[in-house]
Chain A
Amino acid sequence: MPTPPNGSQDPTTLASLANGERAAILSVDCARPVAVRLLEMGLVPGTEIEVLRRAPLGDPIELSVRGFSLTVRKADAVSVSVARRAPGARR
């Protein structure tokens, strides 16, 4: 498989990123109202995000996107495809 530009690799979902991992959004495929809100909060394709942490009980996930923190439940995060950035990779 050819390596996509910007050092991105390894398509997966937002839910399977580990804490501290960075990724770029590929697509948001949730059902309508949640999808539109996720997009409007800035998770459009190409946007870089970082998983900051999980809540103490494991769900939801907190991510950093466009300079602010957003919580997303796992149930929604599984429908967001992302391309994992190689550790240490920078644009």
Chain B
Amino acid sequence: MSGEHAAAPPAGVEQGSARPIVLLVGNPNSGKTTVFNLLTGSNGKVGNYPGITVDRRSAPLKLETGTLELVDLPGTYSLTSRSMEEEVAVDAVLGRGLPAPSSVVLLADATTLRRGLYLATQVLDTGVPAVLAITMMDEARGQGLELDVDALSEALGCEVVPMVASRGEGRAELLRAIARAEARSGTRGAAPPLPPALEADLAAVSEVVERLEPHAGLSEARESARRRSFAAWALLSLGDDEIEDVGAPLREAVSERHRLAASEGRKLDTELVAARYARIDALLDEVLRLPKAAKRPLSERVDDVLVHPVWGLVVFALVMALVFQALFSWSEPAIGLIEAGVEVVKALVGGALAEGPFRDLLLDGVIAGVGNVIVFVPQIALLFVFVTVLEDSGYLARVAFVIDRVMGGVGLHGKAFVPMLSGFACAIPAVMATRTIESRRDRLLTMLVVPLTSCSARLPVYVLVIGAVFSGSAKVFGLLELGAVVLFSMYALSVLAAVGAAAVLRRTVLRGPRPTMLLELPPYRRPRLRNVAFATWERVRRFLVDAGTVILALTIVLWAGLEYPKDEATPARLAPLREAAAAIEDEGERDERLSALDAEEKGAALRHSIGGRIGTAIEPAIEPLGFDYRIGIGILGAFAAREVFVSTLGIAFDVGEADEQSTSLRTALKTAKRRDGAPLMTPLTGVSLMVFFVLACQCMSTIAVVRRESGSWKWPGLMFAYMSLLAYGAALLVYQGGKLFGWG
């Protein structure tokens, strides 16, 4: 569990604001987001729980009696801790480290009421005042289910409000019920008794809890219910876990009870869970009438096609191709527009300011940096529209189901597929899309390997190098261009590297219990436009605010590093040559001479800058890879974004402005010599350079977004370290190995 427990704030009051807290608790797919938006009229503000990266969404909840704070807990199936999200849910409900709630809104999907009540009764047993909202009542009626709401309410000891949240039905009733629950503040009776043996287990652990755990400042009845719930949590959660803030005596008490139970031939976990389901089954036998002849649900019939052994794969391929196409191509016009817009702003601002260092900083540092941030927005927005639609419709779970065999083979979760695929367009939205994966370990693993997938920013680098060293080469088997084969190999290498890295990381830094994929395949449902828009905007906003600021700052630092200190000597040295060139009669010849001088000056300025000097200083380190100092400078510049490698290289090779199709840059590369006079850009150097770019973490935006999504610098640090080592090692192997075979 997370957080500090020494000084729990008073019950129901959020730190920083005086509003009592109402928690929204429910299973994934129970319509929680819809209800949250319905109750608060907004998608709220999203922050983090202290110290961890679980989103904490909250918004003011206005009742006639006053304003409360509605906090949306992560969707969970139980109050047992196996993931960080579940720990947050437990902490929030029990008021452990976090302020205790003044009441709870429980959500249960009417079509899966048994499972929903498992969580709901767990929360009710903590003694907190609560209201149970039953969602999807329309679907349940459609299936012929009949629910006796009053009897259920009577049996549970809390108000029950039937809802069709998507149509807003039940909103007013739920708001009134919350107000009544708040007014009653905790008078519900104790949880029904369990079999004596289990009661003894709970009592033994409760006693330790009472000694160890701080009180939440509640009434004695609630404190006692809370201790019992805490004991049940401990018995199911402690053992082979990574929960940090639990005292040794509690652990000992729990393992003692498990040992004792085992010695009597009892299975404590099974008994605890089965007892709760027995209670729920008995309850629902009374209040829920099932249809006499159940027809097969529509979703199951749809799945006969959508996850059919053959058609399932076809549909899967089509949907994934659509997502990728959108990310790769449909985002192009918007990206082009943003880039053009940045140029326009630069021209406008530049025209209004006098030349000088401030203007350079503003244009090439700040405005370019802002451009570097918003250029990601189209892809992020597109991906999240798709991901939210896929998730809300229920198909995303099927995607995971269909491809899990492949992903699971290397220790990845089925849900890692969409992020990995997106990575081939851009790692930034892809890293953000890992949020669909519930378990933190699975999510981190995916995040750490996604940047190895060959993103579209690497393509200009491949195109430049292949154009320079493989164009016009012989065809392979008289069919394929050698360049095409090389390009394909780079993509294959990137897949192999991602898969290999996942397998290694899973066995080392992210070692843990055997990964699994217990995934609910929810019924197909129509996605709500409002939810899709909210979710997409939320992701874009968080990216701009959190990752965007880091990217902007890094852009400015990198710009300054490649700009300063200024080179005074070269312009002075070239001044007489400029005068001579300006005097040339022929206009064409004059322009050519002048731009050559410009290019030379820019090249000298770059080499004079800190970045240039670092690039030169690291030459001995990158020489074994076949690179020289100019490529070194290019690699440093590429940290802004990989495609910047090409333009930086243009300057470093004294050809001025260049892109990956520039013949001038290609020629410069082809004719470039090392210091000893040997040609620089042999095919072997080219392959070594491309392999380096496949594997290296040459992208500060990826680092910024991984920091944001993982919540610390530790993970992007690890990612940068392992990818850099991998890139260096592989390029070294290629170049030195190739030379050994005499290919250099």
Contacts and interface: CB of A to CB of B under 8 A. Distances in A.
Contact of B514 (A40, A44, A75): A75
B303 interface: yes
A34 B514 contact: yes
A36 to B, nearest CB: 5
Interface stretch (B63-71, B270-278, B649-657, B723-731): B270-278
Given A44-B274, A70-B520, A32 B115 contact: no
B513 A60 contact: no
A7 to B, nearest CB: 19
B313 A56 contact: yes
Interface string A61-81: 010101111111101100000
Interface residues of A, number: 38
Given A40-B77, A56-B310, A66 B114 contact: yes
A31 interface: yes
B312 interface: yes
A34 B521 contact: no
B405 interface: yes
Given A42-B114, A56-B308, A70 B519 contact: yes
B401 A39 contact: no
A42 B118 CA distance: 9
Contacts of A32: 239-240, 269, 513
Given A27-B270, A76-B516, 15 more contacts: A31-B240, A33-B240, A33-B241, A36-B236, A40-B78, A40-B273, A44-B274, A44-B277, A55-B405, A56-B307, A57-B405, A59-B405, A60-B414, A67-B112, A70-B519
Contact of B303 (A27, A53, A70): A53
10 contacts: A33-B516, A37-B518, A40-B77, A42-B114, A45-B270, A55-B401, A56-B316, A58-B405, A67-B111, A71-B520
A59 B405 CA distance: 6
Interface string B266-288: 01011001100100000000000
B423 to A, nearest CB: 22
Contacts of B307: 53, 55-56, 62
A17 interface: no
Chain A, interface SS category:
mixed
A68 to B, nearest CB: 5
Interface in B495-534: 513-514, 516-522
A53 B403 CA distance: 15
Contacts of A75: 514, 516
Interface string A42-55: 10111100001101
A33 B267 contact: no
Contacts of B115: 41-42, 66-68
B439 to A, nearest CB: 10
A13 to B, nearest CB: 16
Nearest to B236: A36
B114 A67 contact: yes
Interface of A: 27-28, 31-42, 44-47, 52-53, 55-60, 62, 64, 66-73, 75-76
Nearest to A37: B518
B435 interface: no
A45 B278 CA distance: 10
A26 B250 CA distance: 31
Nearest to B239: A32
Most buried by B among A46, A60, A62: A60
B235 to A, nearest CB: 10
Contacts of A67: 111-115
Contacts of B267: 27
Nearest to B294: A67
Given A45-B274, A59-B405, A73 B303 contact: no
B236 A55 contact: no
A69 B355 CA distance: 66
Sorted from nearest, which 3 A-B pairs have the closest CB atoms? Answer: A57-B405, A69-B521, A39-B273
B274 A70 contact: no
Contacts of B194: none
B7 interface: no
A82 to B, nearest CB: 14
Given A56-B402, A59-B408, A71 B513 contact: no
Interface in B110-153: 111-115, 118
Contacts of B111: 67-68
Given A35-B269, A39-B270, A41-B115, A71 B404 contact: yes
Contacts of A69: 299-300, 520-522
Interface string B216-243: 0000000000000000000011011100
Interface string B349-384: 000000000000000000000000000000000000
Most chain A Cβ neighbours within 10 Å, of B113, B237, B269, B277: B277
B521 A55 contact: no
Output the residue of A40, A47, A62, A64 with the most chain B CB within 10 A: A40
Contacts of A71: 397, 400-401, 404, 517-521
A67 B110 CA distance: 10
B309 interface: yes
Contacts of A66: 112, 114-115
Contacts of A41: 77, 115, 518, 520
B82 interface: yes
B80 interface: yes
Nearest to A44: B274
A46 B281 CA distance: 12
B246 interface: no
A40 to B, nearest CB: 4
A57 B115 CA distance: 29
